[in-house]
Amino acid sequence: MKEVLLSLLAGLVVGILFKFLRLPLPAPPVLAGMMGVFGVYLGGVVADWLMKTFFN
């Protein structure tokens, strides 16, 4: 839980800093960003399954 709160805090600080400096936010569009995170997670799950299934 500590990692989640620290990540949220870091994201808030970066978002505020970028808005204060009038820079575009360093994030992809919402749907594309969510799909990217989901793809990374799913890739990790599939790789873990493949390693357990074929290389164990």
Alpha helices in the chain, H assignment, sequence order: 2-20, 30-54
Give CA–CA dist 40/32, Å, rounded. 12
Burial class (CB in 10 A: 0-12, 13-18, 19+), 18: middle
Q: What is the rounded distance in angstroms from the CA atom of residue 35 to the CA atom of residue 28? A: 10
**Span 1-36, pLDDT tens digits:** 889 899 889 989 998 999 999 999 877 788 888 898
Q: What is the pLDDT of residues 27-39, one digit of tens each?
A: 778 888 889 889 9
Distance, CA of 51 to CA of 46 (rounded, Å):
9
